[in-house]
Amino acid sequence: MGNGPAKPSIHSLQPLERGGVEARTGFAVQDHVAARYLIALLENPVLLEVWCETHDDITLIWQTDESQEVEFVQVKSNSLNHLWSIATLAAQDKKGKKAVPATSIFERSLANDRCCEPCRFRMVTCLQPNSDLSVLCLPFDAPDRQSKSDALKAVAEDLDKRTSNYCSPNGNGGHFWISRLMWEVQQSADSLSNDSKMKLARLLAKRGITIFPDQLDELYSSLLGWAQDAARADWGVSPASKKICKQCLSDWLDSYLQARQTQPATAGTRLKEKLEQAGIAPGDVIASFESRQQYLAERYNPQYLKVNDLTLLGGEVSAVLQSLRAKLDAGDFTDNGVAFHAECLKAVEQLQKQHENLKPPLSVLQGCMYDIADRCVHRFRRATA
């Protein structure tokens, strides 16, 4: 191996596989894992870059004392009816009844070992690995992991046997992969989202910034949107769009927070911008301003609702809109502003029917939605960075 051609850097290698990034469905867990690493990018000095759907589902560039190190992350959220096993990792695709070499999870991950930088691997799954693999959930330097080196050697030998001693382009096999693999279990997209929001709130608190929960939700949605956009970007058109570096993310966060701390000169400015970006007709924009004014009038001088009831309904409107935004960002709705605006109005109308005992005017509930949008919380297009 030493007399062969020099190994290329990860920064100059093209991905082994491309395609399918435009029609991404069922990738919620993967996107939330990527967003979690974006938060880590803001606070961890040795994490330099996060790449989305390049060489692997997620590729991380770390700074070590001597050089850069690459971590290839595979996210598997598909439902299994059993725990993860050696057989699952080594299972190859089938063409007819014949197995296709180099198509198993293990082989596809190990195939990324082809650059000059040292590398390691990570599996993120929603189900636990079985007892043979569970030690891989421990840190590399954990005494319990180190004491089971013979068991891990047996796992590596089993993988080699099941895949006909498959080796990476750098000449490494099962023992190399297992010795550099960290296994992580994340139960759901919701648990990942909640954990990441807490980390994001702590990060902002360290900077002396406190934001309201709905503002935190929107900030996180924007980070998630950046990860999704990077995953959808075409390597063949713009490789840089798939890579997010520490400095550009930090600059973006500073600009994001500054823009939202600066109030627009005229009330309703942000609402007008959002509706126009959504493609709402001018007449409907004017109607939205009238609804917002009716809501504000009711809020400061209640005529139809008690103060407590108005607060309750405001919280309900906010919760319904948050749920709709999450579905929009997840791809459950097409990123069509006019259509999504109609979905929001429909949801508010349903809310009125659910609380018909309070007899809330529909115009007030709609006005509440538009006021939330004017406060930079709600929007009618998918979140982007």
Q: What is the mean pLDDT of residues 72-85?
A: 87
Does some domain include residue 187?
yes
For residues 61 and 48, is the Cβ–Cβ distance under 8 A? Answer: yes
Domain boundary among 202, 225, 256: 256
Same domain for 206 and 352: no
Q: With a cut of 60, say whether residue 19 has pLDDT above it.
A: no
Which tens digits make up the pLDDT trace of 144-179?
A: 999 999 999 999 999 999 999 999 999 999 999 999
Does some domain include residue 126?
yes
Which tens digits make up the pLDDT trace of 29-71?
A: 999 999 999 999 999 999 999 999 999 999 999 999 889 999 9
Does some domain include residue 117?
yes
Does some domain include residue 4?
no
Cα–Cα distance measured from residue 253 to residue 145, given in angstroms and rounded to the nearest whole number? 38
**Would you put residue 38 in left (φ > 0), alpha (ψ -120 to 50) or beta?**
alpha
CA angle 26/215/251 to nearest 5° reads: 85
Does some domain include residue 133?
yes
Query: What pLDDT score does 111 carry?
Result: 98
pLDDT category of residue 298 using cuts at 50, 70 and 90: confident
Same domain for 147 and 231: yes
Same domain for 44 and 119: yes
The residue that leads in pLDDT, 19 or 259, is 259
Same domain for 197 and 60: yes
Same domain for 63 and 34: yes
Beta bridge partners of 129: 84
Task: Identify which of 39, 22, 127, 113 has the alpha carbon closest to the alpha carbon of residue 69.
Answer: 113
Query: What pLDDT score does 24 carry?
Result: 54
**Can you read off the two tokens belonging to residue 70?**
């690459």
Most confident by average pLDDT, 101-110, 207-216, 304-313, 371-380:
101-110
Cα–Cα distance measured from residue 309 to residue 157, given in angstroms and rounded to the nearest whole number? 66
Same domain for 53 and 123: yes
Which tens digits make up the pLDDT trace of 236-273?
A: 999 999 999 999 999 999 988 887 765 555 668 889 99
The residue that leads in pLDDT, 384 or 318, is 318
**Can you read off the two tokens belonging to residue 222?**
């924007």
Domain boundary among 226, 256, 286: 256
Does some domain include residue 283?
yes
Does some domain include residue 177?
yes
Most confident by average pLDDT, 34-43, 313-322, 354-363, 371-380:
34-43
Domain boundary among 256, 287, 316: 256
Cα–Cα distance measured from residue 152 to residue 146, given in angstroms and rounded to the nearest whole number? 9
pLDDT category of residue 3 using cuts at 50, 70 and 90: low
Most confident by average pLDDT, 158-162, 299-303, 315-319:
158-162
Q: With a cut of 70, say whether residue 109 has pLDDT above it.
A: yes
Query: What pLDDT score does 304 carry?
Result: 87
Does some domain include residue 384?
no
For the chain, the domain total comes to 2
Task: Identify which of 307, 335, 318 has the alpha carbon closest to the alpha carbon of residue 371.
Answer: 318
3-state helix, strand, coil in the chain (%, to 5): 50, 10, 40
Same domain for 43 and 157: yes
Same domain for 281 and 232: no
Query: What pLDDT score does 265 carry?
Result: 53
Q: With a cut of 50, say whether residue 188 has pLDDT above it.
A: yes
Q: How many CB atoms lie under 10 A from the CB of residue 368?
A: 28
**Would you put residue 35 in left (φ > 0), alpha (ψ -120 to 50) or beta?**
alpha
Query: What pLDDT score does 354 carry?
Result: 93
Q: Please report the beta strands in 17-93, taking only residues with DSSP state E, as ranges in sequence order.
A: 47-52, 58-63, 68-76
Mean pLDDT for the chain? 90
pLDDT category of residue 184 using cuts at 50, 70 and 90: very high
Same domain for 288 and 159: no
Parent domain of 331: 269-374
pLDDT category of residue 218 using cuts at 50, 70 and 90: confident
Query: What pLDDT score does 1 carry?
Result: 44
Same domain for 77 and 215: yes
Same domain for 161 and 276: no
Name residue 220's amino acid: Y
For residues 304 and 361, is the Cβ–Cβ distance under 8 A? Answer: yes
Same domain for 182 and 74: yes
Q: With a cut of 60, say whether residue 377 has pLDDT above it.
A: yes
Q: What is the mean pLDDT of residues 184-190?
A: 90
Whole-angstrom CA distances from 16 to 10, 31, 78, 114, 207 are 12, 21, 22, 10, 40
DSSP secondary structure string, 27-39?
-HHHHHHHHHHHH
